[in-house]
Structure 1
Amino acid sequence: MAAHWRSVKHRRWPVVAAAGLLFAALVYVLAVLTRAGQTIENAALRGADQDDVSETDAAWQALGQITVYSLAAAAVVITLVGVLRKRWDLAVAAVGVIVAGQVVVQALKRFVLPRPALVEVTGDYAHNSLPSGHTTIAMTVLFAAVIVVPWKWRGVMLFFVLPWATAIGQYTLTAKWHRLSDTLAADGIALAVAALAAWWLQRKGSLRPHAGPRRAGRVVLVVFWSVVAAGTFALGGVLWGLSLAREGLNADEWVIYLGAGTFASAGSLIAALTYLACWRRIA
């Protein structure tokens, strides 16, 4: 039974990692390498100009709190949790997720992925911003916390960290720091890196099945966010589907922006819930 459990879990992590990378690649191809993708995403950025000033200010404030110092502080806290648990393996894996996530996305954004000029744009619209570093930070911090926090405290951690992490992607659109594709690609890459870290832990025998009772509060929390993820994804589909069907690529920029924001939130939530599902009943 134990051997079968290890075999199943070993297969799960690389599959999730491959799916995350494939999703990020697909997002890049559809959104960056096609004229339609660039046109829609630029329309969403222009639509953000119509958002309420208070929403924009809130987005800038939330994103402004993500700095090198705050990221270092998060890594220190993650490490301390592992040290207090006397689990250096978990601490190394968790901090490795945060560091590797930034190395990968910054390398891709700055040196690897081009943004061809398929539509006529100038200024900030012309440069490549995929993947989003801020979204990657938020998601990798969440995934690192899942790795290092004790099983019985995982629900408490999710209550505080999950809403913040999944909101950052949407904030990057509101502040016009990133396009939708930037956040979605970051979600996929962060998920892949975190899955590989968990695979390493599994292969070295650091994880074990949890046979204790379920925690009702955590189940309620996961169900609630699953419903929110499904609802936001459906809402984004309705907003984009109706608008693009009626007006094509000349669709209302405000509606396109609203749809992009809901898709950004849904993407982060789906990535987070996917990773949590992989950790179900694992201590």
Structure 2
Amino acid sequence: MNTHAAFHRPGPHAPVAARIAAWPFLAATIICLAGVVLSYGFFVKTTAGQFIDESALVEAAVARRRIGTQAAQVLDLLPATSVVIAVIVVLFVTLARRRWMAAGLAIAAMAAANLSTQLIKSGLPDRPDLGVNTLSLNSLPSGHSTLAASAAAAVFLVVSPRWRPAAAFVGGSYAVLAGISTLINQWHRPSDVMAAFFVVAFWTALAALVVMRSGPRWNVWLGSQMHWASARGWTAMAAVLALLTGVAAALLFRSLSGPGSDSTVSYLLFGVVEIVGVGYGLTLAGTLLLTLPVRRRNRR
């Protein structure tokens, strides 16, 4: 399942070819599939999960009133805006660097993610009646969140490794913000957003394996100090945010008291940290997945 990414450059310090193993990418797809299944299994199929998810959606009205209608309308535009930005960047990189294969794979992954989301949403049964006051119509995964996250992933796939840490963090932040916006605007529950992120990550991992193996000459890591976009700070920020929100989610989950609670924002905060934690966790994983295998080692 392994191959060697040949990278030839004349001179005494020619880099050693990087070995691109398939198993990390395939493992990532399995984890992402599990994320979708677990999101559905807990937040849709159990009473506790439904209550937590629906409470976050109801409490989002508080945030919507506080930020105002105009701010909410700005958030509405985030998914569509992300697509426009992604198309511009992908076209620029493709034309400037002649990365036709990578561009085709990035667009295919983006299309597959959005198509999968719609198929899953229409194929899953309605939410079961478990005694929670909620709409029965299935809304998992979120189409808006899939659109934003897949656009960010498309850019991530076509840029060179030196740009990927920054592209991952900025794109991941944009996707997280778009996901939170769907919650604040009460379009989707937190689990819908998380499932969308996992769907996008699944297709991104598959496309990334082909991108890495089909473009060995430009998929070369020059080091974190060779370019500002490669700085360790980008990956560190994603790791810190994923860790902090993970801890916050655990603490909030323990404090949630279930039906009869007089909470006004606790469930909303829990939903937000879920989205942020999953978003930046996948951002961190994607950055490592596409940079670690291609670190360039020079012969002495």
Q: TM-score, normalised by structure 1?
A: 0.86
Match runs of 1:227-246 below 5 Å: 227-243=240-256
Shift of 1:25: 0.7
2:125 is equivalent to residue 121 of structure 1? no
Over 3 Å counting, the alpha-carbon distance change for 1:183 and 1:13 in structure 2 is same
CA distance in structure 2 between the partners assigned to 1:60 and 1:277 by the alignment: 35
Aligned to 1:104: 116
Aligned to 2:91: 79
Shift of 1:113: 4.4
Aligned to 1:266: 277
Q: Which runs of 5+ in 2 are unaligned?
A: 6-16, 296-300
Greater Cα offset, 3-12 or 147-156: 3-12
Shift of 1:189: 0.9
Shift of 1:153: 3.0
Q: Which runs of 5+ in 1 are unaligned?
A: none
Match runs of 1:7-156 below 5 Å: 9-51=21-63, 53-55=65-67, 57=69, 58-67=71-80, 71=83, 74-121=86-133, 125-156=135-166
What secondary structure, in the 3-state scheme, does the structure 1 residue paired with 2:239 have? helix
Q: TM-score, normalised by structure 2?
A: 0.82
CA distance in structure 2 between the partners assigned to 1:274 and 1:55 by the alignment: 32
Shift of 1:154: 3.0
Aligned residues: 276
Cα distance per residue 1:229-283 (max 9 Å; x no partner):
211221122122123xxx3343324211111111111111111111111011438
2:267 is equivalent to residue 256 of structure 1? yes
What secondary structure, in the 3-state scheme, does the structure 2 residue paired with 1:79 have? helix
CA distance in structure 2 between the partners assigned to 1:256 and 1:159 by the alignment: 26
Cα distance per residue 1:37-69 (max 9 Å; x no partner):
1111111111112225243643442223433x8
The one-letter code sitting in structure 1 at the alignment partner of 2:235 is V
Identity rate of aligned residues, in percent? 25
Cα distance per residue 1:74-122 (max 9 Å; x no partner):
3354133223211111100111121111100011112334322223536
The structure number with the bigger radius of gyration is: 2
What secondary structure, in the 3-state scheme, does the structure 2 residue paired with 1:279 have? helix
Could you say what the CA RMSD is over the residues aligned between the two structures, in angstroms?
2.6
Match runs of 1:159-170 below 5 Å: 160-170=170-180
The one-letter code sitting in structure 1 at the alignment partner of 2:177 is A
Cα distance per residue 1:133-174 (max 9 Å; x no partner):
121122212221111012333344346433222222222211
Over 3 Å counting, the alpha-carbon distance change for 1:6 and 1:211 in structure 2 is closer
Over 3 Å counting, the alpha-carbon distance change for 1:186 and 1:72 in structure 2 is same
Tell whether the 8 Å contact from 1:94 to 1:144 is kept in structure 2 after alignment.
yes
Tell whether the 8 Å contact from 2:57 to 2:183 is kept in structure 1 after alignment.
yes
CA distance in structure 1 between the partners assigned to 2:282 and 2:117 by the alignment: 16
Match runs of 1:270-281 below 5 Å: 270-281=281-292
